Every structure is written in C-alpha cells, then in structure tokens.
Homo-oligomer: A and B are copies of this chain.
Amino acid sequence: MIKAGIIGATGYAGGELVRILLGHKNTEIKWYGSRSYIDKKYYEVYQNMFELVDDVCLDDNMAQLADQVDVIFTATPQGLCASMINEEILSKVKVIDLSADFRIKDVKIYEEWYKIPHKAPEFIPEAVYGLCEINREAVKKARLVANPGCYTTCSILTCYPLVKEGIIDPDTLIIDAKSGTSGAGRGAKVDNLFCEVNENMKAYSVGNHRHTPEIEEQLGYAAGRKLTLSFTPHLVPMNRGILATAYASLTRPVTYEEVKEIYDQYYRKEKFVRVLDKDMYPQTKWVEGSNFVDINFKIDSRTNRIIMMGAIDNLVKGAAGQAVQNMNLMFGEEEDEGLRLVPLFP
C-alpha cells in the first residue's frame, strides 16, 4: 500500500487527487494538508466526500509528512514546494509537485515569468518533467517529478509528434487555448464569480502567460533547438476542460494518411492518448472526468497550414490524473491503476 500525503488538498486539483486516489486500489491517503482549513473535517470543505473521507485537514508540514508517507503531492501555489523541499525529505519520500517550481530547467526563465525567486534551484536538475508519454523511463527513476501544467500538457501532446518529425515549422506555431474555470483555482476573486464568467468569454495574459516558456522548452527538445511560439489562453464558461487549437505552417506537402500515421506511431500504444478518426474533432466534454487526451488535426492546403486540436480535462490529465499516472510509474504500479475513468457524458 502506497501511503500518500497531499499538501494543498482543498484546492480543486487537491480535491481531484482525493477523488482519484480513493479509487486506486494500492494507495491510502494519510494526510490531507490544508493550511486554511486545519482541524476542519475534509468533507465539510468538499461535501461530495461525506461518508467517504472522515479525516480532518492538517497543516502543510512537508518535513513531518515525509516521515509518514511514501509520496507527497504538492498542489500548492508557485514557490511553496521549492521553499519546503530539501535533501532529507527527498531521501525519505518521493515528491510530485503540481506547481511550476521544477518544470523549467533554466532558473532565470522561471524567475522572469513567475516573478519570484526560486528557493531550491539545486533540485531543478534532478527533477523530471512528468509528461509520462514523453519521459516515461525517467519518471520511473525519479525522486522529484514536476507535474506539467494543464495548458502545457494539452498543447505539447497535441503538437509533439509533428514538431519532432519536422512536419511543421516550429517558429510558425500559434496555440490558441481555451480553458474551463476550475483552472483558475478556488480562491475567492470577483473575476471568477459565477456572474462574471457565465455567458462570457475572454482572452487573458495575452503574450505573457506563464505556461508559454514551459511549452517552448518541451517542444524545443522535440525540435532539437530553441523555439518561440504564441500562446493565448481564454476563459470559458464551463467547469472543466481545455481545448487547444494549434496552427503551424507545413514544411512540406503532406497527406492526411501520412500525418495520421505519424500520430499513430507516437500514440498507438498510449492508453491515455486517443487520436480520433478523421473529421471527429476533440470536444472537452468527451474527456470530462477522465485522463484522456483527444487529438486530431486538419490539413488546410489553401493556406499550407495544419490545424492541430487537443482536448483534456484540466483537473485530470492536466493535473491530478497525470500526477497519479506519474506516481504509478514511480512505484511500479500499472500505469493506469486508478485512472480507468470513463468520461462522463452529458
């Protein structure tokens, strides 16, 4: 039995971790960390857990936690994991960080985009970027996994094969992404009130969203060189789901079959990536509640571009589900244990 502790258990990603781990046959949650709700019953914060979780919330104490569990998930604001982590902790437990602290290899880029100093840059080199479909073997051996961002997971998996195979010119990449509101977290802000989000749509962080350098770094590895791309996030009036629509110029004429074969080659064996049939476009609702990434593409010969589309549930494949997938790899579990979740429709 894997003993798990969650720091930040009362945010939306933390809540989703609880939901998923409750269905994992070899894991037991031993610690529901939530500084804001210490001593409160977890089910009073998340009423869906009534009669399912009887624990109270505990402090966010990573050192103490390290003595009691096998794996720590940090579903906390940027900077918190880096401020708590140390060699002693890492010698005792595995850490899966859902924040951005260890996602970016160049600490200067991190500090520039996140506007905070990095408190533990010494652990950046060993941290493994936990996009299982790409870094599976490294994840298996990691002590510290940087769980990818929601927009980034969707964007990278959608574009990766075509960048890697040189089918598209990476400098022409434009990713227009749309997200449900749970991505904005559970903080009480006017901008996220029902009446402000409902019946509304907007772009935000145009030209400076923090997931941009993360996507650029990972797709840069695929391209074999640095690249710069446009990424624009939008807020959509729905709870869950990210849809990424990515545009790029083709480097050479290609047929539907060629491109489909490339995608299949990369993802045929992947349990969580579904390359859809021709003309079936990804829709966020069709992956809701599951760890799937649905992908498809359309060649537009008029403009010599290809439009790649991907959809995920931002709280599952974009956060908690991927974290559990990483945990499974790190502990030798079946990769889809706890993750055989059928999408909920409607």
> Which residues of A are interface residues toward B (Cβ below 8 A)?
12, 15, 19, 22-23, 44, 46-52, 174, 176, 178, 180-182, 186, 188-190, 192-204, 206-207, 228-230, 232, 234, 236-241, 243, 245, 247, 274, 276-277, 280-290, 294, 298-300, 302-303, 305, 307, 309, 311, 340, 342-346
Contacts and interface: CB of A to CB of B under 8 A. Distances in A.
Contacts of A288: 48, 199, 344
B52 A342 contact: yes
Contact of A286 (B47, B189, B229, B236): B47
A286 B27 CA distance: 23
B200 A241 contact: yes
Contact of A204 (B181, B192, B281): B281
Contact of A195 (B182, B196, B307, B340): B182
Contacts of A237: 194, 198, 236-238
B342 A201 contact: no
Nearest to A345: B48
7 contacts: A181-B198, A193-B193, A201-B241, A202-B284, A203-B245, A203-B282, A228-B302
Copies of this chain, whole number? 4
B284 A230 contact: no
Contact of A280 (B47, B201, B228): B47
A18 B228 CA distance: 44
A311 B342 CA distance: 23
A346 B230 contact: no
Contacts of A284: 199-202
A228 B300 CA distance: 11
A186 B199 CA distance: 16
A27 to B, nearest CB: 14
Contacts of A294: 47, 50
A188 B186 contact: no
A302 to B, nearest CB: 6
Contacts of A202: 243, 281-284, 311
A271 B52 CA distance: 10
Contacts of A345: 15, 19, 46, 48
A236 B236 CA distance: 7
A307 B344 contact: no
B23 A199 contact: no
Given A176-B245, A186-B190, A202-B283, A195 B181 contact: yes
A287 B200 CA distance: 10
Contacts of A241: 199-201
Contacts of A289: 289, 344
A206 B236 contact: no
Nearest to A279: B206
B274 A200 contact: no
Contact of A239 (B206, B230, B236, B346): B346
Question: Which residue, of A202, A280, A288, A311, has the highest number of chain B Cβ atoms within 10 A?
Answer: A202
Contacts of A234: 178, 243, 245
Question: Which residue, of A174, A294, A299, has the highest number of chain B Cβ atoms within 10 A?
Answer: A174
A200 B283 contact: yes
Given A195-B346, A199-B239, A230-B300, 19 more contacts: A19-B343, A48-B344, A48-B345, A49-B342, A50-B294, A182-B195, A188-B188, A192-B193, A192-B195, A196-B346, A198-B238, A198-B239, A199-B238, A199-B288, A199-B346, A200-B283, A203-B243, A207-B299, A237-B237
